[in-house]
Amino acid sequence: MTKFEAQEKISSAERKITAASSSMLAEVFPSELTPNGVGSTLRSMRAYAEIHAIKLALDKTNWNRKRAAQILEISYRGLLWKIQQYHITRPGSMPSAPAGKAVDLAAAISREESLR
């Protein structure tokens, strides 16, 4: 996947999120992100989108963080900070974590909101 294709996918996802109604939010975001199934806060939607974009870029670059930062058009240090902030780990790097599910999105978003 080229840099342009990755950016286009991210832009497409952002357009879908922006245009989403509350009924569509339930389809786009996991139920654990929607308090009482009513909807999601802007912060939690942003955190979910960031986590998803970072994981996509890292997967596409085989965890080459420098290239992933270039694809996301953020600084390398910024990417490292977000990886730490959201507790994103390489799949299979933690023996206690199920493969492919190293990040608990709801917990990462909750941590991010508590820092603000």
pLDDT one-digit tens code per residue, 68-116: 999 999 999 999 999 999 999 998 875 444 444 455 666 666 666 666 6
CA distance 39 to 28: 11
For the full predicted model, state whether its pTM sits above 0.75. Answer: no
Phi-psi region of 97 (alpha: psi -120 to 50; beta: other; left: phi over 0): beta
